[in-house]
Chain A
């Protein structure tokens, strides 16, 4: 389905970073932090990963590209969403160069790889009757209106 990230979702993702979860084909999960995140489109997010972070994900992603992530820190409660899609590790090229440069400048991360996640699913994770509600497939206007009825707070970017 089509995912349309709202400006608020993008702000939380970029301000707090994300916890990135992958799993082997046999179902063993692994997690690392995506400390520098950039929403490049309504349905694409990139994360700058240090070499050791990339090394945890690479062997898993090479056989199973599925990625799930949630927003880190206060975003775990304030940005109550789960984002799912397919991930690709980039180690060179235009996107790698641009994102790695920004990650170095903003967070002093020496990126060994960029994880590009193409989103295909979006879920509400707010505890209660809306937990698990699927939000992909909504138009940008619909998802924006849905979110504005619930939350409007946007975080400041962490240094």
Chain B
């Protein structure tokens, strides 16, 4: 079982709070990779990464057929955030059984706290030509992290969790 460092927890927050823009990497069951940037990110417990389900298309389809994902920092990298987190993901959407459990994370707790993320942590730092006009959240992607490796130049592949 992994445990995030404090530095990781501070990085895995929305950019407006000193966190990061992240890349969520998924794959179809037969190995067609997909990479998409995400702004709404947080940690939960010591080994879960939460990502808002807004505008997810291929990412959502991939997670529904294959839970294996990787999460990495897109920006800022220069602050030493050279990590790739690997684990199993589920998209806890509205309508899930309220007692659904994903490696210890409870659906009710997740949706109560992060189910209206745009209101809780509005994307004030996102430039006007990129920001979405109306955010519609359908759920929260919960990544149960099982391991992490480095992509820091000179240390690529080294285990960090």
Complex-state Cα separation, A30 to B74, whole angstroms: 14
Complex-state Cα separation, A67 to B127, whole angstroms: 29
Q: Mark A18-30, 1 if CB is under 8 A from B, else 0.
A: 0101111111111
- Tell me if B156 and A32 are in contact (CB < 8 A): yes
Chain B residue, CB-CB nearest to A153: B129
> Could you tell me how many residues of chain B have their Cβ less than 8 Å away from some Cβ of chain A?
46
Q: Provided the pairs A19-B74, A23-B32, A127-B54 are in contact, do residues A28 and B68 lie with their beta carbons within 8 angstroms?
A: yes
| Interface residues in chain B, defined as those with a beta carbon under 8 Å from any beta carbon in chain A | 21, 23, 25-37, 39, 54-55, 57-58, 62, 66, 68-70, 72, 74-77, 84, 86, 126-127, 129-133, 149, 151, 153-157
> Could you tell me how many residues of chain A have their Cβ less than 8 Å away from some Cβ of chain B?
45
Of B31, B58, B66, B84, the residue contacting A31 (CB under 8 A) is B84
Which residues from B are CB-within-8-Å of A73? 74-77
Which residues from B are CB-within-8-Å of A22? 33
Which residues from A are CB-within-8-Å of B157? 52, 55-56
Taking the complex as formed, is A66 at the interface, i.e. its CB lies under 8 A from any CB of chain B? yes
User: Which residues, 7 to 21 on A, are CB-close (under 8 Å) to B?
Assistant: 19, 21
Taking the complex as formed, is A72 at the interface, i.e. its CB lies under 8 A from any CB of chain B? yes
* 9-residue interface stretch from A77-85, A88-96, A135-143: A77-85
Of A35, A70, A75, A132, the residue contacting B153 (CB under 8 A) is A35
Complex-state Cα separation, A46 to B70, whole angstroms: 23
| Interface residues in chain A, defined as those with a beta carbon under 8 Å from any beta carbon in chain B | 19, 21-33, 35, 50, 52-53, 55-56, 64, 66-70, 72-78, 80, 82, 84, 109, 125-128, 131-132, 150-151
